[in-house]
Amino acid sequence: MPQQPDAPVPANPLAHIVYFEPRIPGNTGSAIRLAAVTGARLHLVEPLGFDLSEAKLKRAGLDYHDLAVMDVHPSLDAALDALPEARVFAFTTRATTRFTDVEYRPGDVLLFGPEPTGLPPEALKHPRVTDELRIPMLPGRRSLNLTNAASIAVYEVWRQTGFSEGA
């Protein structure tokens, strides 16, 4: 698919995808593409496990880098301070609330932890976390791929908000 340089970046993000200390460049590149095609905004919390100029990051994002908005923050506090009014939903396999049990609003924060450990306790206990959510899986499975999980969550937000601006 050829890049569409005239395609607008939405002024008001559908959701804010926050990757806490991501380690795998391909997953972050895929998240750039996810942000570009849904109108979400991607936030990366340092330290990152890769350099932003890494080839795997660029390859996974294909030609969508110019169509996505991405911010890098030195800490989780800094990322959430940049989004003072947003509700924060932390995704973890240990949560009891399903991600589909929430009524999402545009601009909500979807917080995901690093591969393969997930969010650490201090991130889950952050005072800004509104709720901890899980994506159902079969028993005995550890977790989904990071960007697969983010995609499921972002598309649920978009579905609930009527796929606004979607074709």
Per-residue pLDDT of the chain (167 residues; tens, 9 = 90+): 334 455 566 678 999 999 999 999 989 999 999 999 999 999 999 999 988 876 766 665 556 777 888 999 999 999 999 999 999 999 999 999 999 999 999 999 999 999 989 999 999 999 999 999 999 999 999 899 999 999 999 999 999 998 877 65
* Domain-embedded: residue 131: yes
> What's the token pair of residue 137?
């899986």
* Domain-embedded: residue 74: yes
Residue 140 annotated as part of some ligand binding site: no
Residue 152 annotated as part of some ligand binding site: no
Nearest to 82 by CA among 105, 52, 107: 107
Say what the pLDDT of residue 167 is: 55
No. of H helices and E strands in the chain? 5, 7
Helices 25-38/146-160 angle, 10° precision = 10
Residue 135 annotated as part of some ligand binding site: yes
Predicted TM-score (pTM) of this structure? 0.90
* Domain-embedded: residue 130: yes
CA dihedral sign, ordered 12, 13, 14, 15: negative
Q: Which domain holds residue 49?
A: 15-136+145-161
